[in-house]
Amino acid sequence: MMAMCLLPISLRRLGLNQLWWMVTPGNPLKSRNHLAPLAERIRLSETIARDPRIKVTAFEQSLGQSYTARTLEKIRERNRSIRFVWIMGADNLKNFHLWQDWQKIACTFPIAVIDRPGDTLSYLSSKMAKTFDYARVDEAHAASLAWRKAPAWTFIHGPRSPLSSTALREIMTAWKQ
């Protein structure tokens, strides 16, 4: 889940018409013990996503799995004429090489990595950044990412939120009460 201040920045900096906020059924690399029910996470995400260009979806659950590589394949199959940019937080970049088919993910759609506190410099040493160094697009050209053939990626600096998706949900739950 991306912090709410990053959503409009992503739309603007990447020159996107829409942002699909994919609420995952669960990350296979993380414990699901403290994960709120999917319906609750969708509701909270919709509360945060106030821009009409942001579409909250949980279609990954309908695919019956939660591996990003498979999800991106399905998105491409169903939307051949649309140009996509996959957006991820910098906190995920450090362990991105542990994701199933991570190199395939990088070669499916261009990727925008959004800065997170404590992860600004770690992206430079990540296996993904080193492996795909040749495909890095300068942040000044981030708006061209959707028009580039993958692999292509950029790192977007900006206002950083220290909130994890769990912390953000807790704040939203408390706010609603």
In CATH, 6-176 is 3.20.20.70: no
pLDDT digits (tens, 9 = 90+) for 33-57: 777 888 898 998 888 888 899 999 8
Residue whose tokens read 């706010």: 175
Give the alpha-carbon dihedral of 20, 42, 32, 107, to 10 degrees: -10
pLDDT tier, 1 (very low <50, low <70, confident <90, very high otherwise): very low
Residue whose tokens read 């889940």: 1
Residue 5: predicted pLDDT = 52
pLDDT tier, 168 (very low <50, low <70, confident <90, very high otherwise): low
Q: What is the end-to-end Cα distance of the chain in Å, rounded?
A: 21
Q: Which residues are CB-contacts of 16 (< 8 A; sequence separation ≥ 6)? A: 10, 53, 85, 146
Q: What is the mean pLDDT of residues 72-90?
A: 91
pLDDT higher at 177 or 136: 136
